[in-house]
Amino acid sequence: MGEVNPSGPVPIDSIFIYRPDKRAEVWRFLFYMVLHAGWLHLLFNLLVQVLVGLPLEMVHGSLRIGVVYMAGVLAGSLGTSVFDTDVYLVGASGGVYALLAAHLANVLLNYNNMEFGIVRLIGIFIVASADVGFAIYDRYASEQLGPPVSYVAHLTGALAGLTIGLLVLKNFEQKLHEQLMWWVALGVYAACTIFAILFNVSNPEP
């Protein structure tokens, strides 16, 4: 693909990249996460996985955090296929934003047992806002040197991280209102996922 730079190149011919014209190849909805568009994209995702994902994994275990991460990856591609239908998708941003949002779920579930919970949320909000802002700018304001890359995966990945996080993360003080929150989270994620799958089945071509 040529010389690697901070934001490219995008490996558009890879069998793993999510492409709107190849939605029938269902593995692309997950395996796009192993590709990245440039070293800056890869570095950011790796740093967040280490700095955000590792602390969550130490508390909640590898399996729970793995479920959150993969739910974000799937939500990223499904959301892009519905709301940003003309773009290609690479990177682990859906999973990364699921980890970021899972911190919010962790605070909602275990606020009384956490130190500096609000400070953590503010830090995560700043990092996420800056990255989403850059992604939106890169999509609409900067010169496009290749096919457009979606930022919707960031947002839908975060939604998945919040809802699945509420479902699977450990709750050290179960309360009645949190049981209701569990069912709401399950309903939101299930409804969004089923809608996106049906949308793709009924609209095989972009």
Active site (catalytic) residues: 93, 154
Q: What is the 3-state secondary structure (H, E, C) of the chain?
A: CCCCECCECCCCCCCCCECHHHCCCCCHHHHHHHCCCCHHHHHHHHHHHHHHHHHHHHHHCHHHHHHHHHHHHHHHHHHHHHHCCCCEECCCHHHHHHHHHHHHHHHHHHHHHCCCHHHHHHHHHHHHHHHHHHHHHHHHCCCCCCCCECCHHHHHHHHHHHHHHHHHCCCCCCCHHHHHHHHHHHHHHHHHHHHHHHHHHHCCCC
